[in-house]
Structure 1
Amino acid sequence: MKKLLFVAIAFVSLSAFTVASKVWTNDDPHTQLGFTVTHLGINDISGAFTDVDITLEASKEDFSDAVFNLTAKTASIDTRVEARNNHLKSADFFDVEKYPTLTFKSTGIKKAGKDTYKIEGDLTMHGVTKKVSLKATYRGSVVNPMSSKETQGFQVTGTLKRSDFGIGEKFPEAVVSDEVRIEANAEFVQ
């Protein structure tokens, strides 16, 4: 009986110091993974992946220990021009038949200022995984009046080189910029 009592007290004591992580998932209609490239050196063209799943796990209220995991279906690419979308889905660019998803898994987060963070992580795209550094801005928390759910907002931005991932290798910088600007806007709910 003493052993059972000791085990119960130890469990309760240890549980008091354990902070449970909360897992948040993106609200699909209010989430977008966008990108922008420069065409012919004179004009910016933007697009988005419209089928995106993101989880956010954190135990701290200020999200300073947040872990982000993102998966986007490459076939969901949308630039508002069907012919361009089809070309981007082809083997010339994303090769969606061979590489149906792109993923990002954060490996670290550091507070960079009030409501801003530097996120390090592994981006896998077109069969290549590279470490990337992104900036995250916490946009706040509200109770959504439509769903009555607590909702967290984040914006994540950064740049990458498509050449690092072997995307669009036949198309030089003069046609499509190597630098790709990324902007993800997401609302998260539990």
Structure 2
Amino acid sequence: MKKTLLLAAAALLMQTAVFAQTTWKNDKAHSHVTFTITHLAVSDVDGTFKDFDATIVAAKPDFSDAKVSFVAQTASVNTENDRRDGHLKSEDFFDVAKYPTLSFVSTSIAPAGTGKYKLTGNLTLHGVTKPVVFDMVHRGTITNPMSKAPAAGFKVTGTIKRSDFGFGSKYGSPMLSDEVELSASGEFGQAK
């Protein structure tokens, strides 16, 4: 009898945990993804992705159990220079015809201070998947005064080496830095 009660209680707890999870989607009007690379060791070039989607699934209000996924359309790369953007879309870099997306899927999250986390996951770029660690800050959760719906804010930052992904391998570090800084900031609402 005890075993039956314990099994029933465990099943109920598991079911409650599943139903308590909430899916959050980025608000595209209030979210952005940028990257920065150094050119000729003397100047930085910034770029963005105009077309991307991010999802966070969490059961805890502090997002300490968050699962994060992100997909960007590589053809949406924008550095405010048409010629450079065309080159970035070519086989020399993103090769958008062959690799139309870049993506990130988290594998774990660990606390790193109040509202701060180390977000570990797999980044897929240029057909190569590698583990990476990003810093994530939960900026807070509020009730949006206009929509009256919950809104949560996040910022994710980190640095990757493009050589790890075979990205732009024709261009060595004297031309372009191996390290690329990434930053994503966004407002998320609960998925309906």
Do Structure 1 and Structure 2 share a fold, with TM-score over 0.5?
A: yes
Matched, 1:14 2:12: yes
Aligned length: 183
Aligned to 1:144: 144
Give the TM-score normalised by structure 1: 0.91
How far residue 12 of structure 1 moved from its aligned partner, in angstroms, is 11
Give the TM-score normalised by structure 2: 0.90
How far residue 145 of structure 1 moved from its aligned partner, in angstroms, is 2.4
How far residue 15 of structure 1 moved from its aligned partner, in angstroms, is 5.0
When residues 167 and 13 of structure 1 are mapped into structure 2, their CA distance, relative to the original with a 3 A threshold, is: closer
Deviations 1:128-152 (A, max 9, x none): 0000000001111122223222110
Structure 2 counterpart of 1:150, one-letter code? P
Structure 1 counterpart of 2:47, one-letter code? G
User: Residue 102 of structure 1: SS of its match in structure 2?
Assistant: strand
Aligned to 1:3: none
How far residue 104 of structure 1 moved from its aligned partner, in angstroms, is 0.2
Aligned to 1:189: 189
User: Residue 171 of structure 2: SS of its match in structure 1?
Assistant: coil
C-alpha distance in 2 between matches for 1:89 and 1:141: 37
* Counterpart mapping for 1:16-165 below 5 A: 18-19=16-17, 20-165=20-165
C-alpha distance in 2 between matches for 1:142 and 1:32: 20
Deviations 1:54-111 (A, max 9, x none): 1100011111100001000000101011111110000000000000000100000000
C-alpha distance in 2 between matches for 1:143 and 1:170: 49
C-alpha distance in 2 between matches for 1:55 and 1:11: 31
User: Runs of 5+ in structure 1 lacking a partner?
Assistant: 1-5
User: Residue 29 of structure 2: SS of its match in structure 1?
Assistant: helix
Deviations 1:33-55 (A, max 9, x none): 11000111011111111111011
Q: Percent identity?
A: 50
C-alpha distance in 2 between matches for 1:58 and 1:139: 15
User: Runs of 5+ in structure 2 lacking a partner?
Assistant: none
